[in-house]
Amino acid sequence: MTVRDVAKLLEAEVLSGEDKLDIEVKHGGAADMMSDILALCGPNQLVLTGYIHPQVIRTALVTELLGLVFVRCKNIPPETIKMARQHNILMLQTRLFMFSSCGILYAAGLRGVDER
Amino acid sequence: MSDRNDLSKYAGLFEDIRAADIMTANVTVIPPEKKISHAKEMMNIKRISGLPVVDETRHLIGIVTVEDIIHALEFNRLGEPIRNMMTRDVITVGVNDRLTDIVSKFQAYRFGRFPVVDADNVLRGIISRKDILNGVLEKFNLIYVHDQKRISTLNSEFSFITGERLTVGDAEFHYNIDTTDIGSAGVGAVMLKTFLADKRYPAEIIRRIGVAVYEAETNVIIHSRGTGDIYCFLQGDLIMVRVVDNGIGIEDMDMAMKEGYSTAPDYVRELGFGAGMGIPNIKRFVDKLVILSEKNVGTQVEMILYLPIEASAPATPGTLTKN
């Protein structure tokens, strides 16, 4: 599916990286710990997270993720959004919870990073 | 409190211990022109209850404590410079003060720690009850066996892995880690990635280095309580990165290597770290790893990644000049 499909399925708002909406995404993960993202996720993957500190953007940058989906619509700090835009990291925000978001995307065909 | 009595009872046995022997030399300090809110942030991040205030030449001019912060909060003065709110009459300990004098100071005042200054009032360290206890225990050789050889190898110019001479001045990449700003964790790793990308190293190697250095850099910021540096040496068929700090060292290396073991306090977990994956993650992404650590001297993480054979000589001017 494309990033646009992901956004539609999760009724998500695109906060950064609008130019990446047509990119095909096959694998995703979900984590709140930076070390888990660093250890397990990689290029062209989408990571769902509830962690909104700007540090997550730097983690995405180091790991070369395709982008991040922020679940449960928290008050994302403006610095996080600013840093994502600065580095053109795709950033979606959904009001759905982590579990539902993962389930919806999995049912629609997105696979886990352990299923590559 | 009973521990005070215990301290004075045993103090006489350790007449020859001076403040300089037991103090913590790496002190987090703050300049007077920074805002109170900044001090609050730093105390929160470093989980400390007092910050010595020093001028450009490290002369001690005051101290800002939790009480000062509470006071500032109460009167809505967090935006003011520290010099307006700090405590100016600081009770200090001299570097050459004897243990008995230091213990009496702890008894006379209710403070948890005292800044240690030299004859010119320049800040040299900080001393807490814990430092006294550790100093005394060290004297007994109970908790730590001092190993002079480890100190000398820690600052050696040779690579532990390849045995080659490495002068930090010759490093092709250097980044000084800002340990006062936890938000800066990863900046060095991102800069190193950009540097290696410019030199056209293979993307997969760059990614692995990025993750490993990010973890090492974060460790320096969260745990070292010192200052740190990242150096990268490019040596033909390999890339070597050294992340060094002059902080408190790793107490239990075996545990630090275990996945899931962490000494990180809750606030670090709130920042998305502290899962006990730092060193295991570094190990996972590099080909060779040596970690050397000495209590109160520092930690040195040396990692090597070998380039795939066809990529061992990136076709960019500049990278081959050293060979």
DSSP of B114-152: EEEE-TT-BEEEEEEHHHHHHHHHHHTTSS----HHHHH
Tell me if B315 sits within 8 A of B200, measured CB to CB. Answer: yes
Q: What is the CATH number of the domain that holds B80?
A: 3.10.580.10
Set of chain B residues whose Cβ sits within 8 Å of the Cβ of A58 = 185-187, 189-190, 214
Judge if B238 and B129 occupy the same domain: no
Distance of alpha carbon B28 from alpha carbon B190, whole angstroms: 25
Most confident of B14-23, B231-240, B295-304: B231-240
Using CB atoms, pick whichever of B189, B207, B278 lies closest to residue A35: B278
pLDDT, position B150: 45
Nearest chain A residue to B187 by CA: give it: A58
Which residue, among B253, B257, B276, has the nearest Cα to B265 in the 3D structure?
B276
Q: Residue B154: inside a domain, yes or no?
A: yes
Using CB atoms, pick whichever of A35, A59, A63 lies closest to residue B275: A35
Set of chain B residues whose Cβ sits within 8 Å of the Cβ of A63 = 207, 210-211
Set of chain A residues whose Cβ sits within 8 Å of the Cβ of B210 = 62-64
Q: Residue B316: inside a domain, yes or no?
A: no
Give the pLDDT band of residue B311 (cuts 50, 70, 90): low
Pick A74 or B246 by higher pLDDT. B246
Q: Residue B322: inside a domain, yes or no?
A: no
pLDDT, position B16: 74
Judge if B168 and B290 occupy the same domain: yes
Q: Residue B319: inside a domain, yes or no?
A: no
- Give the DSSP letter string of B248-277: S--S-HHHHTSTT-----HHHHHTT--SS-
The total number of structural domains in chain B stands at 2
Q: Residue B57: inside a domain, yes or no?
A: yes
Q: What average pLDDT score do residues A92-114 get?
A: 95
Q: What is the CATH number of the domain that holds A111?
A: 3.40.1390.20
Give the pLDDT band of residue B92 (cuts 50, 70, 90): very high
Directed axis angle between helix B278-285 and helix B203-219, to 10°?
A: 160
Q: Is B95 on the interface with A (CB under 8 A)?
A: no
Q: Which helix (H) or strand (E) holds A5?
A: helix A3-9
ipTM above 0.85, yes or no: no
Judge if B9 and B119 occupy the same domain: yes
Q: Residue B168: inside a domain, yes or no?
A: yes
pLDDT, position B289: 83
Contacts 24+ apart (CB under 8 A), B71-74: B72/B36, B72/B40
pLDDT, position B11: 54
Q: Residue B258: inside a domain, yes or no?
A: yes
Domain span at residue B30 reads 2-139
Give the pLDDT band of residue B10 (cuts 50, 70, 90): low
pLDDT in tens, B25-49: 889 999 999 999 999 988 888 888 8
Judge if B132 and B152 occupy the same domain: no
Q: Residue B130: inside a domain, yes or no?
A: yes
Chain A nearest C-alpha distance from B275 (Å): 7
Which residue, among B165, B211, B205, B166, has the nearest Cα to B188 in the 3D structure?
B211
Q: Which helix (H) or strand (E) holds B4?
A: helix B2-11
Judge if B131 and B105 occupy the same domain: yes
Domain span at residue A101 reads 3-115
Distance of alpha carbon A31 from alpha carbon A51, whole angstroms: 8
Q: Are A62 and B185 within 8 A, CB to CB?
A: no
Q: Are A35 and B277 within 8 A, CB to CB?
A: yes
Set of chain A residues whose Cβ sits within 8 Å of the Cβ of B273 = 33-35, 55
Chain B nearest C-alpha distance from A30 (Å): 13
Inter-CA distances, B282 with A112, B3, B214, B217, B229, Å: 23, 41, 9, 11, 17
Tokens describing residue B126: 């900080």
Pick B135 or B232 by higher pLDDT. B232
Q: Are A39 and B284 within 8 A, CB to CB?
A: yes
Per-residue pLDDT at B159 exceeds 90:
no
Judge if B53 and B120 occupy the same domain: yes
pLDDT in tens, B278-306: 888 888 899 888 888 777 888 888 889 99
End-to-end C-alpha distance for chain B, whole angstroms: 65
Q: Among A17-26, A46-55, B155-164, B260-269, which stretch is predicted with the lowest mean pLDDT?
A: B155-164
Tell me if B158 sits within 8 A of B164, measured CB to CB. Answer: yes
Q: What average pLDDT score do residues A66-91 get?
A: 93
The total number of structural domains in chain A stands at 1
- Give the DSSP letter string of B65-79: EHHHHHHHHHTT-TT
pLDDT in tens, B190-223: 999 999 999 999 999 999 999 999 999 988 888 8
Q: DSSP state, B242?
A: E
- Which of B85, B106, B139 terminates a domain? The answer is B139
Set of chain A residues whose Cβ sits within 8 Å of the Cβ of B193 = 62
Q: Among B65-79, B241-255, B305-319, which stretch is predicted with the lowest mean pLDDT?
A: B305-319
Q: Is A66 on the interface with B (CB under 8 A)?
A: no
- Point out which residues pair with B234 in neighbouring strands: B239
- Which of B92, B107, B139 terminates a domain? The answer is B139
Judge if B234 and B196 occupy the same domain: yes
Using CB atoms, pick whichever of A35, A55, A58 lies closest to residue B281: A35
- Which of B139, B173, B208 terminates a domain? The answer is B139
